[in-house]
Structure 1
Amino acid sequence: MGLTVMTYNIKNGGRGGRLDAIARIIKEQRPDVLALQELQHHHRHGGRLIRLLAEATGARAFLSRSRLGGQPVAVLVSEPATVISARHLRRPFHHAAGEVTVRTDAGPLTVIGTHLYPFSGARRLWEARWLASRADSRRMVLLMGDLNSLDPWTDHTERIRALPAHHRSRHLRSGGEVDTRAVRALADAGFVDLYRRAGTTGPDHTVPTTHGNGGEFSRMRLDYILGTEPVARLVRSCRVVRGGDTESASDHYPVVAELDLSVTS
């Protein structure tokens, strides 16, 4: 047995009849812990939409709302995992961040789900630095979500060139340098990119999907599963899920990692 974790930006709450496809994708991957982003309207009417999605996928949902008009995020935990604690991270994120700790056979695992600022690298770095403070080399901590940031280990020249001109400023600093500061700040704090640690090969982009209308993207990896070293040592695999419903259910592909852990009740 292992622990399956997944992150997925479902684009504007799954509007337009996409929630059924999103639920199918989640059920196919069977994550023990799932981080969701862009949960537009899921906090309304007593949280009806996130409750329906949680029920459809057999999970408990812990929703975190934005204080600044952005979209909520959530961490969902499936049975038989025992949730030790859950809380909203009370920082002025444009979107939001939430933290859930579950019991495993190797001790508590803290999972942070978040969605960083899309439009400004400086603001994104600001938010990343708040999250970097959650890195603790003595603890198992996962950070999952849409970080809206390119990584500092890759040559992104062609990806930037392929972007529509009016979207390039999201990923460039004032001098024209590619802005990778958010992921770099998290890495410097001790968060390890599980995709790289697992040695995954092949296409790595998480946006855009084939039919998701992601016109602001150009085959970029913006969605990450990061972990402190005690987690990174346990990664078996990490992959971008493609094909089937994922090509149209969102403009982002989900990312899934398998860890050499088991949840306990």
Structure 2
Amino acid sequence: MRVMTYNIKTGGYDGSRGTRLEEIAEVIGTALPDVVALQELRGDSGTWLAKRLNMRMVRARSSWGQPVAVLTNPDWTVLAAGPVARPFHHAAARVVVATLGGPLTVISAHLHPHWGWRRLHEARWLVNAVGRTRLALVMGDLNTLDPWTDHQDRLRALPRQYRARHLRWRPPTSKPSDRDVGKVARVDTRAIAALDAAGMVDLFRAVGEGAPETAPTALGGAEFSGMRLDYLFATPALAEHVRSCRILRTAHADRASDHYPVVAEINI
């Protein structure tokens, strides 16, 4: 089984400049995934991509942000599907598919873009959604830096308003000064740490190949400075079957979104 997570940036729409949907479809189609977690859907972009790729879609709507979805290969049997019923800023969608190893729960999530304390709550909701499930995979744009890396240089490279998204020593309305940046203890990594503390396995950290950064692509983005924000987390029983995990960097991926997709191979 091949799985992918992909933030497609504003549903692939660029206003009067047209869409990037063909490029997005090319990136996904070339990778031949069985399951795709999509974030930042808009309008009918999810429906268009599902039809173009001949995949089935389960979409979770958002009251404040942008919908997410899980696309599945029609050859896989879907046992259950629907949104994760929590007040996420964006959304989370859950699909359970039948595999030879047993039912596999796949969750596509997009955590809060601005406030670390909200991301922490949302990460805990994801942990609760997984519960005692033996085979589960949480994929998506988690908008959080990991707790195992020194992020000082990449934070210094960000404009102040975007740097504040990843720091935690003041209320979210406060504006940090330049002298406040630089100490790892102040980087807000709590959402990723919560998934790790719950026993979930960061697949790229476990078996990743190549550079870990997922944003920005050549399409750019002032809010990024060479950051890993997109993750695949698996339960330990599922992680035992993961063969590889990599960031998909291609010419099409450079133009299709401001995030690169992450792909993993699971022998299940």
Q: What is the TM-score normalised by the length of structure 1?
A: 0.91
Q: Quick one: which of 150, 157, 164 aligns to 2:145? A: 150
Per-residue CA deviations over 1:166-224 (Å, capped at 9, x if unaligned) read 211100111650010000001111211011111x24321000001x2311000000000
- Letter of the 2:86 counterpart: R
Equivalent residue number for residue 46 of structure 1: none
8 Å CA contact retained: 2:200, 2:236: yes
8 Å CA contact retained: 1:137, 1:228: no
Equivalent residue number for residue 197 of structure 1: 206
- Letter of the 1:117 counterpart: H
| 1:113 partner SS | strand
TM superposition shift of 1:58: 1.5
Equivalent residue number for residue 161 of structure 2: 166
8 Å CA contact retained: 2:215, 2:229: yes
Distance (Å, rounded) in 2 between the aligned partners of 1:85 and 1:142: 15
Distance (Å, rounded) in 1 between the aligned partners of 2:6 and 2:209: 20
Structure 2 gap ranges (5+): 171-179, 181-185
Higher helix residue share: 2
| 1:76 partner SS | strand
Distance (Å, rounded) in 1 between the aligned partners of 2:222 and 2:128: 33
8 Å CA contact retained: 1:137, 1:229: no
Equivalent residue number for residue 265 of structure 2: 258
8 Å CA contact retained: 2:209, 2:244: no
8 Å CA contact retained: 1:84, 1:103: yes
| Aligned: 1:58 with 2:38 | no
| Aligned: 1:4 with 2:6 | no
| Aligned: 1:31 with 2:33 | yes
Equivalent residue number for residue 215 of structure 2: 207
Could you tell which deviates more after superposition, 159-168 or 217-226?
A: 159-168
Percent identity over paired residues: 54
| 1:245 partner SS | helix
TM superposition shift of 1:79: 2.5
Equivalent residue number for residue 196 of structure 2: 187
Q: What is the TM-score normalised by the length of structure 2?
A: 0.90
Q: Quick one: which of 23, 35, 40 aligns to 1:21? A: 23
TM superposition shift of 1:137: 5.4
- Letter of the 2:47 counterpart: R
Distance (Å, rounded) in 2 between the aligned partners of 1:185 and 1:33: 25
